[in-house]
Chain A
């Protein structure tokens, strides 16, 4: 059976449209739902032969969890979870999805709720509305058991009892809420200090790695950067008004544990610009333990820029000018090697996945931004604001900032946001001769001026206000 046919047979008559959100929005004001809160599971439990096969095996089973919710006697969500299991089994049988979007929001906000209306509500009425609340997690995903229990209590009262820690957006996903209860659930969550995340063409929820809280590789205060940037532009999260989504992600070092370069429009990757710290006694201990051959093959030879050399006495020689802060040797010898003291971050801009021009990785935009003082963090927020403003004003509808940069060219983008060209931005200079260079000499003079200024200030290039 095709999806269209299936929809035709399951639609409850000519008045039920297959898709339009606005029509569904009106439908949800109907009071005649099949079950009220006080109903026990009116219908018999749906049989779920496919899903049952996902209860065995050593990994924790989400199906067992869904059944626990279904079987919770007297809970308002039990009927909803029975029908949810029914619909999911229906998907497993027909190999098709049966949710569609719509418009649901909470008072004062334009985004943050992912509306889901069932296309097979006639078969599974109790889960006909199954919206998700995207809720921003504490930076670094830290929780006390106390606050987790509060989140559970709220969701048990107003929602389905199903929570995902966390979605790919970084949000806590409170999955499964009726339209009516969405506001109540949000109010309760908001009262204990949680706020909705982003959805649609808006600033999105961000993530940051564990960083400073428990990692010696961390090169800046991720919590401070994450909260300073996101909370400055909270309006852009709650009221979608951008051409398309915009994501910040914060990783404390080049290991990029939150996958920022691939997944963020604006990736903040920790780094340092002085020499890495070497504890030669620990290096010797490491080499002693694994042997010289292993150390040479797996540490020295794996350095991407040939910046390492193992001395005859098993100490390490580091060419810090050649080192690109890739993190490999630090990862392998965490007791012996550490980042330097002059710490900050690199900013890469433009990461995204396939739609529409194909995958883009973030590319280097600011090779080093010191992140040590209050002023440094203010400069980060200022740069973030400038990027958002540029994006809001110049991107086409449904265009990510990486695509905008490709469309207009990096030189035009740099000029717009007030960043000077830097050789760290490229793998190599252009190979195409199709360029007009009649002001090359003036540009070169500007470069030498900048270098002079940087040397004087002992400060590598950082973003300057474009005015």
Chain B
């Protein structure tokens, strides 16, 4: 549209108000606002309920419930109705997409719990429970997913529901899933991540028009991609002996398709930890690869997760996180207890790999 024409039709686009991060205080529960920065201690009267006491003597009870994260407006309004009828009109969400209702009296807690449960929202996720799985986008919305996210999470949380509503784990368990090796789900005590198994398949007809070739070459962590003429067209080729099938070339160059219905697999990693409590934060470590990407319920993944989780529950000491438990018992015992295989693929080959090796005579028998 020409400027003159735009002026004629009086199109004046609305300028955004660049307000940035909204102020939470207008939305915050009055007791949280009143005692902001002045809390004294807390305890947990039952799984799913936190009880915080302020220096002023004020008390607030929080009821935590699981959600499906990807919520339709009807679900959100239902949660609002519960919040208005049985809580005090203020909620917050946790990092792991649980919703929390704050109330000023313990008397309100039973009815709140009952109504949440009646509407299908599990109450739990506190203390030493298995909380909601950290959630990515998957086939529902991502442009590079190897699998779905919501479906994997739903399937696993159906199984883990019993551990979400109780606090019977040695310490908290944080599970994550990721639909590609970018790993938006992050580090976890147990992480279920897509692991590609084949180099990208290249549509050479499209590369020249779609991809900024030098940028794609630069993106490869192992320098396996180089410019090439293919069928008379400028394209890219991959040295498949070097390729580690990470998928890094796929986002900047979609004609380098990394996903395949049978070559996109799932791997399970354990021992990631964000907290600084006791041991330093850690990255998760590979334990199983090559599990099938098997919607709608991924039973093979569920089985391995169950094995690992219950070996941990049975054998770890109180307050040991997954990785700390394994550090104590040793990796040989871990693979024994979980009945999983240790292979050459567990030996790190990336930069710094030597630091992951056992540089000592310490051996677990």
Which A residues fall within an 8 A CB radius of B? 1-4, 17-20, 50-51, 53-54, 56-63, 65-66, 68-69, 84, 88, 91-92, 94-101, 106-109, 114, 116, 130, 132, 136-149, 151-152, 155-156, 161-168, 175, 183, 186-187, 190-191, 193-196, 206-207, 209-210, 212-216, 218, 221, 223, 226-227, 230-231, 234-235, 237-238, 254-259, 261-263, 269, 294, 297-298, 302-304, 324-328, 331-332, 334-335, 338, 353-359, 361, 397-398
**Residues A59 and B154 in contact, CB atoms below 8 Å apart:** yes
**CB-CB under 8 A for A334 and B296, given A138-B27, A297-B317, A358-B351:** no
Is residue B70 contacting chain A, with contact meaning CB distance below 8 A?
yes
A125 CB → nearest B CB, Å? 18
A84 partner residues in chain B, CB cutoff 8 A: 140
Which B residues fall within an 8 A CB radius of A? 13-29, 32-33, 36-37, 39-43, 52, 60, 62, 66-77, 79-80, 83-84, 89-95, 97, 99, 102, 120-122, 134-148, 150-151, 154-155, 157-158, 161, 181-187, 201, 203, 206, 209-210, 215, 218-221, 246, 248, 254-255, 257, 259-262, 264, 272, 274-279, 281, 283, 293, 295-297, 317-319, 350-352
A328 partner residues in chain B, CB cutoff 8 A: 277-278, 319
**Residues B141 and A175 in contact, CB atoms below 8 Å apart:** yes
A227 partner residues in chain B, CB cutoff 8 A: 20-21, 23
Q: How many A-B residue pairs have CB under 8 A?
A: 387
The distance in angstroms between the C-alpha atoms of A3 and B41, with both chains bound, is 55
**Residues A195 and B257 in contact, CB atoms below 8 Å apart:** no
Which residue in B140, B154, B219, B319 is a CB contact (below 8 Å) of A61? B154
B155 partner residues in chain A, CB cutoff 8 A: 54, 57
Which residue in B29, B68, B157, B219 is a CB contact (below 8 Å) of A65? B68
Closest to A209 in B: B95
A2 partner residues in chain B, CB cutoff 8 A: 201, 257, 260
**Residues A216 and B67 in contact, CB atoms below 8 Å apart:** no
A303 partner residues in chain B, CB cutoff 8 A: 278
A-B complex: 9 closest residue pairs judged by Cβ atoms: A57-B158, A65-B72, A254-B276, A138-B24, A91-B139, A231-B20, A59-B157, A145-B80, A95-B261
The distance in angstroms between the C-alpha atoms of A196 and B75, with both chains bound, is 23
**Residues A163 and B73 in contact, CB atoms below 8 Å apart:** yes
A191 partner residues in chain B, CB cutoff 8 A: 17
A214 partner residues in chain B, CB cutoff 8 A: 32, 39, 52, 60, 62, 102
**Residues B22 and A60 in contact, CB atoms below 8 Å apart:** no
**Residues B15 and A107 in contact, CB atoms below 8 Å apart:** yes
Residue picked from B22, B28, B150, most chain A C-beta under 10 Å: B22
Other A-B pairs beyond A101-B143, A326-B277, A353-B183, 13, CB < 8 Å: A4-B203, A18-B254, A59-B66, A66-B70, A107-B15, A164-B69, A165-B67, A215-B42, A256-B274, A256-B275, A261-B274, A326-B278, A354-B181
A4 CB → nearest B CB, Å? 5
B211 CB → nearest A CB, Å? 9
The distance in angstroms between the C-alpha atoms of A139 and B93, with both chains bound, is 11
**Residues A136 and B295 in contact, CB atoms below 8 Å apart:** no
B37 partner residues in chain A, CB cutoff 8 A: 212, 218, 221
**CB-CB under 8 A for A259 and B319, given A145-B84, A164-B71:** no
The distance in angstroms between the C-alpha atoms of A95 and B276, with both chains bound, is 38
**CB-CB under 8 A for A108 and B15, given A54-B155, A213-B36:** yes
**CB-CB under 8 A for A216 and B143, given A59-B158, A166-B97, A262-B187:** no
**CB-CB under 8 A for A53 and B276, given A148-B76, A149-B77:** no
**Residues B41 and A335 in contact, CB atoms below 8 Å apart:** yes
A123 CB → nearest B CB, Å? 15
Closest to B90 in A: A144
The distance in angstroms between the C-alpha atoms of A30 and B80, with both chains bound, is 39
**Residues B80 and A3 in contact, CB atoms below 8 Å apart:** no
**Residues A218 and B39 in contact, CB atoms below 8 Å apart:** yes
A111 CB → nearest B CB, Å? 12
Closest to B264 in A: A95
A132 partner residues in chain B, CB cutoff 8 A: 141
A196 partner residues in chain B, CB cutoff 8 A: 16
The distance in angstroms between the C-alpha atoms of A1 and B77, with both chains bound, is 42
**Residues B16 and A186 in contact, CB atoms below 8 Å apart:** yes
B89 partner residues in chain A, CB cutoff 8 A: 144-146
Q: List 13 A-B contacts (CB under 8 A).
A: A54-B297, A57-B155, A58-B122, A61-B154, A62-B150, A100-B143, A149-B77, A165-B76, A194-B22, A216-B41, A261-B281, A326-B278, A359-B283
Closest to A84 in B: B140
The distance in angstroms between the C-alpha atoms of A342 and B21, with both chains bound, is 28
The distance in angstroms between the C-alpha atoms of A212 and B233, with both chains bound, is 60
Closest to A232 in B: B20
Which residue in A152, A230, A263 is a CB contact (below 8 Å) of B20? A230
The distance in angstroms between the C-alpha atoms of A3 and B259, with both chains bound, is 8
Which residue in B17, B134, B182, B221 is a CB contact (below 8 Å) of A357? B221
Closest to A6 in B: B261
